[in-house]
Each structure stands twice: as structure tokens, then as C-alpha cells.
Chains A and B, each alone.
Chain A
Amino acid sequence: MEYILLAISAILVGNIILTRFLGICPFVGVSKSPKNTLGMSGALIAVVFLSAILAYALHRYVLVPLNLEYLKLIAFILIIASFVQFAEMLLKKFMPALYKALGIYLPLITTNCVVLTVSLDVVGTKVTGALLNWGEMLTYSLATAVGYALIIILFSYIQLRMQNSPKLPKPFKGNAIALITAGMMAMAFLAFSGMIK
């Protein structure tokens, strides 16, 4: 039950895009075609989940015993960058079709703030409080990534209809209307805020 609550709060109530504004660049920039967005969110879920596990293990079993917590930022970004590189090589070798479909989005995941923030969250920030245990950590990182994927997929369908609308004033074309629509989505998701606690 505790884990289900944690998952719901990470996906809907405290959604990482709409309440914490992370990963906005791909949210606004990339999510213009639903097909690409689907591919990217799949890759992103895998990268967030696996790199959070690596970062958590490194922090818990290496950095904390050696009193090197202040190095976590450098250590985590290196883990993420090398992990993405590694995933890219693996995919290229064993799943060339998927690799081709993902294209530029795979290397771009390195600079997606969601990956780094989830890794920092599972070892304790203001949002998650203290260091999580293994079960919580796995649930939290997976649910956050799923929440992110859910929003960018929904948003890509909205963008598809909106950006081609002939009634849109010229200055609003592109990012401006995308941001305002995201604001509307955030308002809609406010309704979930009473669900837990």
C-alpha cells in the first residue's frame, strides 16, 4: 500500500514536469510528433530507472562509507553520461531498428534534468526527505519516469492539433502557446493535489 501511494504521488500529484518543472526543454521542443515522443519516453524510462539504481548503489556503498558525499554531483553525472553512451552502443549492436528510431534523442537524454534529479532525489533532497530504502527507491524512480512519459505523450497529441491551428496569433506560435497549454495542464493536474494527505 505504501508503495502504491508513493507511485501515485510521483505520477499524478507531484508530477515532475507540472509541479517541479524538470525536463522542460524536450517537453516543449521534442514533443511535436507523438511517434518520436513514444520512442523517447521509452528510452527515458529505462535510463532514469537504471541510472537511479546505479547512482543509489554508488552513493550508499561507496560515497557514504568513504565520507565523499560532496562528490555526488560529479559522480552521478559521470554515471549517467557513461550509462547513456553504453546503452547507445548496446542498442546499436543488438537492436539497430530501435537505435535508428531513437536517433538523436538518446544522447540528448544525458542533459535531461529528470535523470540527474531523480538520481539526486533517491539519495535524499527536500522532496524525498532522507535517503530512501531499496523498495522505495525503485518505486519512486520508476513512477517518476512514468509520470514524465505520461505527460509528454499527452502533450505531444495536444501540440499536434494546436500548432497547425490557423487561428493562432503569430507571436504565440511555437513555444509561447506550448507553455501556456502546459499551464492549463498544470491547472488540471492541481485537482489531484487533494488526493493524498
Chain B
Amino acid sequence: MDEQKLTTPSEQPPVKKSKGKWKLLTTGIIAENPIFVLFLGMCPVLATTSSFSSAFGMGLAVIAVLMLTNVLISLVRKWVPNEIRIPIYIVIIASVVTIVEMLMNAFMFDLAQTLGVYLSIIVVNCIILGRAEAFASKNTVLDSLLDGIGTGIGYFLGVVIVALARELIGTFGLGFKNPFTGDVVFQLYFISKEFAQKYAINIFTGNAGAFIMYGLLTAGFIALNETVKQKQAAKAKKLVAQTAGGQQ
């Protein structure tokens, strides 16, 4: 990432198009990460991250919904009157979520039961309507699809990171269930099962831990972003100084 950014000014003209598409895909993942930067759709981040498996399922559901709604809304964008666009978007989103919910109930029953009402309320998840309004209603179908995938992956990664942190600290172990069958794929423990059950910091799998862990990770992400920015600024300064020195 760092190198790409630094070299863009000289390379931009010939590869502008492909770079634009690539950028569409990546902005949603890091620069505009819905969970750690934009803070949109926070409820499921807290509610479905008590275990890695449920967060994984939630992330997948959000990617699917975001891709479909972005494509559909971008397809109909020319026929939607401006005054009533929000109700139309909401109906499209609600239909897509209903379909995804039915499919998950049919093929991933255990997961759908664990997620419960949080699956239904993807409808009012701000990130879906936010992308529809800010991006899909103004851009082509392909761009909207890429934006949906990028933002969806950003959301997925955020949810999974929070869930991993909570499960690792809260149970001193890590388990993963196959979303289709509900069978346990693997279940690991730190040192041994007895040790993990005895010494794990249980509060992090509970309600209070959800808030605290999300808060700590947010602060960590902001601090990391700051240091990366500072380093980049320092690097750029050095480069400028070097080139200036060379010219002289």
C-alpha cells in the first residue's frame, strides 16, 4: 500500500482505469472501513461477535446483502424519482434481506438461529442504506458491485477481528463451526482445556466485554492509522528532500 501510494503520481496516467477499479475495492476495506472508521452498523458488531463462527456468518450475510442491494439499486437508479428514493431503497433492501434470511434458514439453520433477530435488522443497518444513497444511486452497476464487495469485505474483516479478539481472550481458545452443517470443524484451547476454562477472562464474551473490546480495538486502529500516516509523511518529506538535493 505504502509503495503504491508513493509511486502513483508518476505512474498514474497509463494505468488510471484499472487503478480506479482497484481503489473502489480497497477504500471500503481500510481507508473507509465501516466498523473502525465510519462507525456504521455497530449493533451487530457488538451483538454477534461473542463467537468467531457467528461473526463469520454475520459477515458473510452482510457481504451478500450489500452486493445484491448495491447492484439492484444501481440498476434502477435511472427510473427512481428523487423525492421517493429512500422508501424505494428501503423496500429493495428489505426484500433482499428477506431472501437472504430465508436462504440461511434453509441451508444454514443453526447459524440463522444463533443470529436471530440480528439477521432481520440488517435492513436498518446504516452501512447498507449509506452505500445505496452515497454510491450505488450515482454510479454504474460494475462500480457499485465492486464498492459493495469492498465495503462488505471491510465489514466482514472488522466483525471477524472483534470476534477473534473476544473469543481468544474470553475463552482462551478458538472454535469454528461449519456454517452449513453446524458440525465443529476445530476447537483449540490455549495450553489445555482445563487451564483455559479456569483462567479465561470470561467477561469478554459477555455484554460488558463486547463494548470494552470494541472500544479498545477502535482506539488501537486509530493509533495505528496515526503512526502509519506520520511515517508516510516522514518518508514523503525525505523523498522530496532527496530529489531536491539531486536536482541541485
Whether B211 contacts A81 by the Cβ 8 Å rule is no
The reply on B184 being an interface residue by CB < 8 A is no
Whether A120 contacts B43 by the Cβ 8 Å rule is no
The reply on B60 being an interface residue by CB < 8 A is no
The reply on A184 being an interface residue by CB < 8 A is yes
The reply on A74 being an interface residue by CB < 8 A is yes
The reply on B61 being an interface residue by CB < 8 A is no
Candidates B113, B129, B219; contact of A111 at CB < 8 Å = B129
Whether B215 contacts A127 by the Cβ 8 Å rule is no
Candidates A70, A81, A186; contact of B207 at CB < 8 Å = A186
A179 to B, closest residue via Cβ: B215
Candidates A73, A77, A171; contact of B222 at CB < 8 Å = A171
CA distance A25 to B126 in the complex (A): 9
Q: Is the interface of A mostly helix, strand, loop or mixed?
A: helix
B94 to A, closest residue via Cβ: A74
Whether A112 contacts B117 by the Cβ 8 Å rule is no
Please give the distance in Å from A194's CB to the nearest CB on chain B. 15
CA distance A18 to B43 in the complex (A): 11
**What 1/0 flags go to B78-92 for Cβ under 8 Å of A?**
000000001100110
| B206: A residues at CB distance < 8 A | 190
| B223: A residues at CB distance < 8 A | 170-171
CA distance A92 to B202 in the complex (A): 50
Size of the B side of the interface (Cβ < 8 Å), in residues, is 45
The reply on A39 being an interface residue by CB < 8 A is no
Q: With A25-B40, A186-B208 given, can you name 17 additional A-B contacts, CB distance below 8 Å?
A: A21-B46, A25-B43, A74-B91, A74-B94, A74-B95, A77-B123, A78-B94, A110-B90, A113-B43, A113-B125, A169-B219, A170-B222, A171-B223, A175-B215, A180-B211, A180-B212, A186-B207
Selected A-B contacts with CB under 8 Å, 29 pairs: A21-B42, A23-B43, A25-B40, A25-B43, A25-B126, A74-B91, A77-B94, A81-B87, A110-B90, A110-B124, A111-B126, A113-B124, A116-B121, A116-B123, A120-B120, A120-B121, A127-B117, A170-B226, A171-B222, A176-B215, A177-B215, A177-B219, A179-B211, A179-B218, A183-B212, A184-B208, A186-B210, A187-B208, A190-B206
| A residues whose Cβ falls under 8 Å from a Cβ of B | 18-25, 28-29, 70-71, 73-74, 77-78, 81-82, 110-113, 115-117, 120-121, 125-127, 169-172, 175-180, 182-184, 186-187, 190
